[in-house]
Structure 1
Amino acid sequence: MTFTLNDDARMLKESARDFFREQAPVTRLRKQRDAKQNGRDPDLWAEISALGFAGVIIPEEYGGAGLGYVALGAVLEEAGRTLVASPLHSSALAGASALLLAGTDAQKAEWLPKIASGEVIASIAIDEGAHHAPAKSKIKFEGGKLSGEKHYVADGHIADLIIVAAADALYLVKADAAGLTRRELVTADSRGAADISFAGVAAEKMNLGAEIIDAILDRARIGLAAEMVGAASEAFEITSEYLKTRKQFGQVIGGFQALQHRAAKLFTDLELTRSCVLAALDALDRNANNVAEYASLAKARASETVHLATNEMVQLHGGIGMTDVHDAGLYLKRARVTEALYGGASFHRDRYASLLGF
Structure 2
Amino acid sequence: MQRSSQPLSSSEIGTLWLTYLEKTFIMRVLEYFIEKSDDKQAKNIMTDLWHNLKTYVEKIEVTFKNEDIAIPNGFNERDVDRNAPKLFDFGFDIMFVRILKEISMGMYTLHLNMAYREDVVLIYKDLTAITQKCYNSCTQYLLEKGILSRPPNVTHPITNEIVNDTNYLNGFNLFGEKRSLNTIELGYLHHSIETNNIGIQLITGFAQCAKNKEVKDYFVKGKEISKKIIKELEEKMLQSDISFSAASGNFVTNSTKSPFSDKLMMFCIFLLNSFGLGSQSFGAIFSLRNDLTLKMALMAKNIYFYAEDGIKIMIKNGWLDQPPQMADRNKIIRGE
The normalised TM-score by structure 2 is 0.33
> Of Structure 1 and Structure 2, which has the larger fraction of its residues in strand?
1
Pair member with larger Rg: 2
Relative to the length of structure 1, the TM-score reads 0.31
